[in-house]
Amino acid sequence: MDWITVIGLVFFGIILVVVEIIFVPGTTIVGILGVLFSGYGIYLGYQNFGATTGTIFLVSTVLLNTVALVVAFKGKSWERFSLKSSMTGKFNQDQNLNLKEGDIGKSISSLKPVGKALFDDQEVEVSSNGGYINENVEIEILRIESKKIFVQPVNQ
């Protein structure tokens, strides 16, 4: 029973370390638990079976961790979970904008400095001149540069 416990703790610790590095990087909790399980398994190996067998467990655990990580990275199992595409579109790019400087509309989200506005029943992405504009504020188009619309509140 002692052998099964020690080997089980070591293998469970190795699995948790691999899971931490490959599948949930940055959480550190899973990795720390893996190291603790492996460390406790090694400790039990020293305590129950002596220094020679404990050292064998220690060296075996380090080698198994190294082999498991190399196999996991070479097998590219982590690529199944990584993002392979990126967003290339912009909000106003696909729209036929019939807007011009001086048009009046209303912000439908807060502009911090970017947000959404409504001009003649047309929802567009707009940018303020660096300031914060609350939701439901009348805004005016200052300029349009390659479908990027800059606005300011009407009362300015």
- Calculate helix-pair angle for 2-22, 29-74, nearest 10 degrees: 80
Q: Mean pLDDT of successive 10-residue segments in the chain (156 residues)?
A: 85 87 77 90 90 90 86 70 61 70 91 88 86 91 86 84
What pLDDT shows up at residue 23?
Answer: 76
Q: Where are the domains of the chain?
A: 2-81, 104-153
- Per-residue model confidence (pLDDT) at position 63: 92
pLDDT at 84: 66
pTM: 0.48
Secondary structure, 3-state, 61-91: HHHHHHHHHHHHHHCCHHHHHCCCCCCCCCC
Q: What is the pLDDT of residue 137?
A: 92
Q: What is the pLDDT of residue 90?
A: 60
Q: Which CATH class for the 104-153 domain?
A: mainly beta
The contacts of residue 17 (CB under 8 Å, 6+ apart) are 31, 34, 35, 38, 65, 68, 69
pLDDT at 131: 82
In sequence order, what are the beta bridge partners of 127?
114, 150
Residue 107 is predicted with a pLDDT of 93
Q: What are phi and psi of 115, to 5 degrees?
A: -170, -165
